[in-house]
Amino acid sequence: MSSGLEGLAQDRVIAVVRAPVIPDAAELCAALVAGGIRWIEFTWTTPGVEEHLRRAAEVADRLGCRVGVGTVLTAEQARRGVAAGAQYLVTPGVRPGLAEAAAGVPVVMGALTPSEVATAVDLGAAAVKIFPARAFGASYFRDLRGPYPLVPLVASGGVNAGNAAEFLAAGALAVCAGSEVVAPAVVAAGGWSGVELRAREFVAAVAR
């Protein structure tokens, strides 16, 4: 894969952080990496997300992780996210103009229907996030692989340790791990050992 998402096919898990408070984004990244998750997505729904991105970006190379920002809805948010250090952007749906605003940073664009997948690719998406994945289940990814065998698909929404491996087996490039790994209350409390343990358990479930 030459889209700027190199390594995701091997790591296969993106941790999506939606927390009202993040005491230390660098420590959060360190905990996730220790637990085996190296792709970390902060979101625009988090207060002060740009500062969290900057803090995470400072340690990304040392930790060996990739830091991105999600719930990107506008070109302005895309530009600000990149300026703050985001190495990839994620949208909840099809958003024209974001790939251009990202200035070469890969965009994982949200979609659901086959037509939206095609539109996301036409708009320059490096990968397409199928959201909400639980609405149609793992078999939907197997269906999408037919007409779109070369489009990298990411499963997001309702993915957990119990079903993540099914999405990957059905053709998803990667899955998004949400509150099961980065529970808002645990993150807000700075419970980094708990985050590490949850990440380790999720990665182990994917491997099985």
129 catalytic per annotation: yes
DSSP letter for each residue of 128-186 = EEETTGGGT-HHHHHHHHTT-TTS-EEE-SS--TTTHHHHHHTT-SEEEE-TTTS-HHH
Decide if 176 contacts 16 (C-beta within 8 A): yes
Catalytic residue chosen out of the listed positions 27, 58, 100, 129: 129
196 catalytic per annotation: no
Residues 192 and 200: their CA atoms lie apart, in Å, by 12
- 68-93: string of b/e by CB count within 10 Å (b at 16+)? bbbbbeebebbbbbbebbbbbbbbbe
Catalytic residue chosen out of the listed positions 6, 27, 41, 180: 41
- Annotated catalytic residues are 41, 129
